[in-house]
Amino acid sequence: MKITIIKSDITKLSVDAIVNAANSSLLGGGGVDGAIHKAAGKQLLEACRALHGCKTGEAKYTAGFNLPAAYVIHTVGPIWHGGNRQEAELLADCYRNSLQIATELNLKSIAFPAISTGVYRFPIELASSIAIETVLAFAEETTSLTEVVFCCFSEQDKLIYGSHMSRQSP
């Protein structure tokens, strides 16, 4: 599996699925969530209404509508409360459950934002480590995925992800 770390707009990526760092209502919000809803168009909101929300750590999917990606996998990351409320486990669940959906859909490529690191205040250093370790562990299992993209909002986040990725290389 090829893993790429980029600084880009996730709504413009030509991958099979992009992951939406959503809130539990799935009805749009700020940050990545708002950008994805805006770029995908009004049909995404209607499709999300039919999903009836999502619990933290879980994932659900919809079509991508006006996005280059065929699918949007919506996952609800944990709000950071200092690390004593299973935040790390819940964040890993976000990645695992999103990857599981991608595998079930027989997708080849998926792009992740830095889940929970914006308004949910999850520390980027820890979040990137969890993201990379979870994806690498999942890749050891049988999966159709051939490419995972970590799409970062800032150059600093990209450097942090790259640093964690280089520590994982043999």
Q: Which pLDDT tens digit goes with each residue over 93-107? A: 999 999 999 999 999
**Quick one: average pLDDT of 10-36?**
96
Catalytic pick among 9, 16, 33, 93: 33
Residue 25 confidence class, pLDDT cut points 50, 70, 90: very high
Most distant CA atoms of the chain, gap in Å? 45
Q: What share of the chain is helix, strand, coil (3-state, %, to 5)?
A: 40, 20, 40
Domains and CATH numbers, the chain: 2-165 (3.40.220.10)
pLDDT (0 to 100) of residue 169: 57
Residue 142 confidence (pLDDT) above 80: no
Beta carbons of 110 and 144 less than 8 angstroms apart = no
* Catalytic residue list contains 33: yes
**Quick one: average pLDDT of 39-55?**
98
CA distances from 117 to 46, 65, 137 (A): 27, 26, 21
How much of the chain exceeds pLDDT 90, in percent?
94
Residue 80 confidence (pLDDT) above 80: yes
> Hey, what long-range contacts does 29-38 have (CB within 8 A, 24 or more apart)?
30/118, 30/119, 31/118, 31/119, 32/113, 32/118, 32/153, 35/9, 35/10, 35/11, 36/10, 36/11, 36/67, 36/72, 38/11
pLDDT (0 to 100) of residue 91: 98
Beta carbons of 162 and 5 less than 8 angstroms apart = yes
pLDDT (0 to 100) of residue 170: 54
Residue 141 confidence class, pLDDT cut points 50, 70, 90: confident
Judged by average pLDDT, the poorest of 126-130, 137-141, 146-150 is: 137-141
Residues β-bridged to residue 73: 19, 61
Residue 27 confidence (pLDDT) above 90: yes
Beta carbons of 114 and 28 less than 8 angstroms apart = no
pLDDT (0 to 100) of residue 167: 85
